Every structure is written in C-alpha cells, then in structure tokens.
Amino acid sequence: MTRIAATCKTKLTFSVVKRNLCCKQLRNFYNTGIHKEASFPTCDYTPSVYKGASYETIIKSRENYVIPSQKPYYKKPLLLHEGRGQWVWDNEGRRYLDMFGGIATISVGYCHPKVVCAMSEQSYKLGHATAVYLHPRYHEYAEKLTSRLPPGLSCVYLTNSGSEATELSIQLARLYTGRNEIISLKNCYHGATAVAAATTAISTYKYPLLLPPGHIHVTNPDVYQGPWGGSNCRDSPVQAGNRICNCAEGKCQAEDNYFKQFQDTYESLVPADGQIAAFIAESIQGVGGTVQYPRGYLKRVQKQVHELGGIFIADEVQTGFGRTGGSFWGFEGHGLNPDIVTMAKGIGNGFPLGAVVTRPEIARALTKAHYFNTYGGNPIGCAVGAAVLDIIEEESLQENALNVGTHILYNLATLIKEFPSIMGDVRGKGLMIGIELVNDSTTREPLPHDEMAQIFEDIKDMGVLFGKGGVKGNVLRLKPPLCVTKEDGDYAVEVLRSALKKHQTNIKC
C-alpha cells in the first residue's frame, strides 16, 4: 500500500512536461529521411526492459489460440510492452508516437498517474459491486458526467463498451416511442453486436447473416466523396479538396440536397404513418473515415425526426470528451440537443467503460422489464471515469485538442499542394483528423490497397502510429491522446511527407 500511495502523490502531467531524449540511437534511426527541422520528439520516461515471452512465441500463440478475425496491423505486427502519455514502446525498446490513441480511446495519455492512482486506490477499497447494491462511486460519477451535458440529460446507465451502449440506446428508443424503425447513415459504424451491426452500414463489418429488422440507411452526406459538396460545406479548418462550391449566400446546396435524400426515405422505406423510433448518427464518422457533413444537416434532420415523434441519438463514442476541440461533445458543434447520448472509448482512457445518458421520461421506459449488467458501473470504472473528467479540465486538454489539432490540419493541408495526385482530402476538427489518399484526384478513386499498406508500414517504421478507416481502407486516421504537442504533430506530418515521397519514387520506378 505504501508504494501505491507514493505513486499517487506523484504530480505529473503529459501535456506540459518538457521531454528529454530517451535514446539517441532511436532518434537517429527514426529521423532517417525526415526533414532536419522535424526531429523525433524527446521523452523523459525510460521504460522497463521487456522480459515476457519471445516475439515468435506470441505470434504462434496468437495463431493457435486467438480467433483469426482479430487481425493485427502491419506486415510485422507490433508487440507493445509499455506506454506513457502519447508514447508506446515495443518489446525491443523502440518508441512510437501513437497518433491513433488505441483507436481514439486513450484520451488523457497512457498510464496517466491520476488514472493509475484512482484505479489503484479504489481496487484496495472495493473492486466490484453490481447495481443491486449502492456504492458512492457510481453516484459521484453520474453527477459529474451529467454536469457536462445539456440540461435534461440526467439519467445515466453505465456499460462496458460502445456496442452495448448502442444496443441499449436503440432499445430505449423503441420502448419509449412504441415504434421499431431506426434510421442511420450509410458508412456509419455504431458497433458489431447484433443490433449495433444492423445499424452499422459499412460492408467490411457485415456478415452474411440475417440481421434484426427495422433498420434503414440513408444517403451519407459526405461532401468529399458524395454527389454533392463544395469548398465551404463542413465545419473544419480545411475544406473539401478541389470541389467547387456553388452555394448562394447563407445557403448550402449540398445540405439541401442531402436533406432531401433523407426526406425521400419516408416515401419508400418508412411505414405509411411516417413515424420512426430514432435517428442515430456520429457527430463525425470515425471508422467510416473521419467523414464530416454539411454544417446544418444534422440539425435539420433532428427537427424532422422530432416532428414525426422520433428521438435523436448522438453517438459520441469517438467525438466526445473534448476530442473535437471546439466543444466537449461533438454534437455541440452541430447545435444539437440530443435525446440520448452514447459514450465509450475516451470516457475511460482505455478502461472498459461506456455510458448511455438520456432524459428521465425516456429512461423510465426501461422499467417495463428488467435490464441488468453485471460489470457496468463497477467502482473501479467509476473512479477512472471521474479521474478522466478531472484531468481533461485540469490540464486544459480540450483546448489543447483545438490548438494542436488545428495546427496539424493546416500543416497537412500543405501536403495537398505538394502531393496533389495522391492527397485527396484532409478533414476533421480538433484531434479527430482524416487524410484520404487517392489514385486519382479528379475521380477521387481510392488508392490501391497494396500501395496504402506500404505507406502505412513506412509511417510505422519511422516511429509513428496512424490508424486506417473508410470502406476501402484508404483514409489515414489521426486520433491521438489529447496531450500531444505541436512538436509531435510536426513530426507526424513530416513522417507522412517522407512516406509519400517514397511512394512517389516507387511509383516512378
């Protein structure tokens, strides 16, 4: 207990500490081919020496004992050993700048001392208690979480994942409205369990199985790849590539056309009474490739849904907790006041935690039967969730997401001019950024898979981890811990530049 108490007294932050050089050899290795002005950022943490099973043993174990659908990234998969802040180390001691944040999950930094402290202290007091008993952590956390939401969103149900949160939100909507139809956007991702998978509309996450009925998918209002979109449609510091905007003053043509597509759905797919249970949407599509919509689209859809007796579900699994920078929740950037909000990922900084928050009258619909989760709202999860909220505020991580994210977006935009044939689009807000790579900038045809894979591999070999997304897997995704610095961002951009230069050379050869 003494050791843990000492650890908890350590006052460290990952957003402001000046980082020193960990390993000169690593720095020289990663800087090979990188512009001199962008050197591998320093780090003041020295990881322990890896003493686990050999790389070959773990690869063999993975092949023999893990379900094969769980495919790791990269030609030579990474064996991660340790993490601090925005950094991870592999089994050989190599350091990587994680610009994907464990798939937008590490919000305040790997192994943040305050999170570790909260987890450790609570585990010594009470590690598990289900909702059939009272414990103070649940109620403390519920009050703290709802204080960050619009008035009226005051009822919390804690879950273990985003998929479960999606399932519960849809069940609530159907119970409350007495209707069945759920509308979502094509290219959306809301989870992979049964009902969540039926709501999801990306082919790579669709198995040849009979899915639950009552799910309708409407045209995705993608202003870059879709039929309509211009140079001033989305809420981003960077606009859609070379698309021309023909909108009149104060009027968005793309928004009007995509909204008409939504309205047309009622004539062909919705029951004759025109009533639905809910519309669900991500504020910015994550897995689908960081896709942004015309600015006013979601607000018009919400108004239409409410007029027809349905409710609006905001999926904040990836866009919540300050990631978009300008607001704590992604839906605030659209001027929305949702009826239900689903959360996960950054809510627990890697701890398996999710939540559904709704209005009391909607929550009461769940009392028609008994809904139970053994682990949701356990004391450790609540302690971690509360610590994450405190850290975001104390270290001004939402503001950091805005400042650093905007800096990165502007720098990435310069690569469009430098590599016009492959850099199709740069988009996003805060630290939720997408880079769409194409084979032809005019047709916006996706970059072939093998070329994309090599660029992805080269970026990793220079010490930076990106993610991938989009139906064709041709969108690089940047969703780093919110504590990254401009120096980190500059290095990531220079690494991408070097990878694209190498790609150009290979293509010419």
Q: Is 394 left (phi over 0), alpha (psi -120 to 50) or beta?
A: alpha
120 lies in some domain: no
C-beta atoms surrounding 18 within 10 Å:
7
How far is 501 from 455, CA to CA, in rounded Å?
A: 10
- 301-338, pLDDT tens digit by residue? 999 999 989 999 999 999 999 999 999 999 999 999 99
How far is 299 from 252, CA to CA, in rounded Å?
A: 13
Q: Domain ends where: 394, 419, 439?
A: 394
- 336-362, pLDDT tens digit by residue? 999 999 999 999 999 999 999 999 999
Residue whose token pair is 């952590």: 137
pLDDT (average), residues 216-220:
96
List the one residue out of 353, 358, 340 whose CA is nearest residue 385.
Answer: 353
Which tokens in the block code for residue 462?
Answer: 């220079």
* Structure confidence at residue 30 as a pLDDT band (50, 70, 90): low
> What 3-state class would DSSP assign to 185?
strand
> Which residues 6+ apart lie within 8 Å of 3 measured at CB?
none
122 lies in some domain: no
Whether residue 461 contacts residue 447, with contact meaning beta carbons closer than 8 Å, is answered with no
- 112-146, pLDDT tens digit by residue? 999 999 999 999 999 999 989 999 999 999 999 99
Q: How many domains, in total, are found in the chain? A: 2
How far is 282 from 219, CA to CA, in rounded Å?
A: 14
- The answer on 153 and 102 residing in a single domain is no
pLDDT of 2 reads 40
> Which residues 6+ apart lie within 8 Å of 155 measured at CB?
357, 358, 359, 360, 362, 363
- The answer on 448 and 352 residing in a single domain is no
248 lies in some domain: yes
Q: What is the CATH number of the domain that holds 146?
A: 3.40.640.10
- The answer on 379 and 401 residing in a single domain is no
Q: Domain ends where: 394, 428, 458?
A: 394
pLDDT of 102 reads 94
37 lies in some domain: yes
119 lies in some domain: no
442 lies in some domain: yes
- The answer on 215 and 79 residing in a single domain is no
- 152-208, pLDDT tens digit by residue? 999 999 999 999 999 999 999 999 999 999 999 999 999 999 999 999 999 999 999
C-beta atoms surrounding 37 within 10 Å:
7
- 73-104, pLDDT tens digit by residue? 999 999 999 999 999 999 999 999 999 999 99
* Integer angstrom CA distances of residue 485 from 15, 32, 34: 7, 22, 18
How far is 184 from 211, CA to CA, in rounded Å?
A: 15
Entry pTM: 0.93
Domain that holds residue 101: 2-114+397-508
Whether residue 285 contacts residue 314, with contact meaning beta carbons closer than 8 Å, is answered with no
Q: What is the CATH number of the domain that holds 106?
A: 3.90.1150.10
- The answer on 339 and 373 residing in a single domain is yes
pLDDT (average), residues 31-57:
85
Q: Domain ends where: 376, 394, 412?
A: 394
